[in-house]
Amino acid sequence: MKAASENLVPVTLELGGKSPAIVGKGSVHDRTVSAIVWGKLLSGGQTCIAPDYALVHNSEINTFVESYDRLVQAAYPEGPTSKDYTSIVNDQQYSMLIDLIDDARAHGARIIEVGHRPGDATRRPHTLAPTIVLDVTDKMKIAHEEIFGPILPILSYSNIEDAIAYVNARPRPLALYYFGEDADRRKVLDRTTSGNVTINGTIMHVAQDDLPFGGVGTSGIGAYHGIEGFRRLSHAKGVYEQRRWNTIKLFSAPFGTLTERILNVLLR
């Protein structure tokens, strides 16, 4: 953006961010958790719109963790060294993820590796097993930094207003995911500001060609895809052709009585 401003070049920026998955009370079932497993572990969590963390009702945390573990096993039956499970892109990113986990653990978080044989991850270079982080607090780096890896912090809330307040107290996310009833869904949509939203699923809003995709605030500027992409990435050059009948002459000097009458009508 700085480089573009020096040459007056417009920009469209997709900047990522911590995208929440809000799970409404009573919605911790296989369809919900399976969608979060898929979105979180797609490309090892290394996508800009991966669910960064989950907000789950405090009465359903244990159920969510158990379901997440079971459905990770179902998705990756050969464990974290299988050909279906992706390694971290390089050592630098892998080290950053390990640092997030170590920092969370040092500040009192519970770290749970899930899926089949999570310990096998150490057998393959910069491979990280699917990991859950519980008891997250604002003192932890993982509460603030975009993860970009297969680590899912799970935070509890007591009512939907608390979940909305948590999201709103942080920078605007690039994506937001909601699973649950229509009444609370309306509250989440009306009271939060984010990039795109997928209801009862993850990721797939980005695959809709006719749905503008982009962030807001620190998660981005501008939107693209479909007609929005054409407008964003092209310049509309307006062209006006003056025809023979030209009323502008009525407002050209010297001004006469007719001009004064027209102005009086317009200014009433």
Tokens of 178: 């909601």
Assign 46 a pLDDT band (cuts: 50, 70, 90): very high
Say if 264 falls within a structural domain.
Answer: no
Say if 215 falls within a structural domain.
Answer: yes
CATH of the domain at 206: 3.40.309.10
Active site residues: 14, 48
Residue 63 has pLDDT above 90, yes or no: yes
Between residues 242 and 30, the one the model is more confident about: 30
Say if 250 falls within a structural domain.
Answer: no
End-to-end CA distance of the chain: 47
pLDDT in tens, 68-118: 999 999 999 999 999 999 999 999 999 999 999 999 999 999 999 999 999
Task: State residue 222's pLDDT score.
Answer: 93
Say if 206 falls within a structural domain.
Answer: yes
pLDDT in tens, 117-142: 999 999 999 999 999 999 999 999 99
Number of domains in the chain: 1
Task: State residue 256's pLDDT score.
Answer: 84
Strands 196-199 and 175-179: parallel
Q: What is the mean pLDDT of the chain?
A: 95
Say if 262 falls within a structural domain.
Answer: no
Residue span of the structural domain in which 38 resides: 17-226
Say if 251 falls within a structural domain.
Answer: no
Q: Among candidates 66, 41, 64, 42, which has minimal Cα distance to 54? A: 64
What is the pTM (predicted TM-score) of this model? 0.89
Say if 25 falls within a structural domain.
Answer: yes
Say if 53 falls within a structural domain.
Answer: yes
pLDDT in tens, 176-185: 999 998 889 9
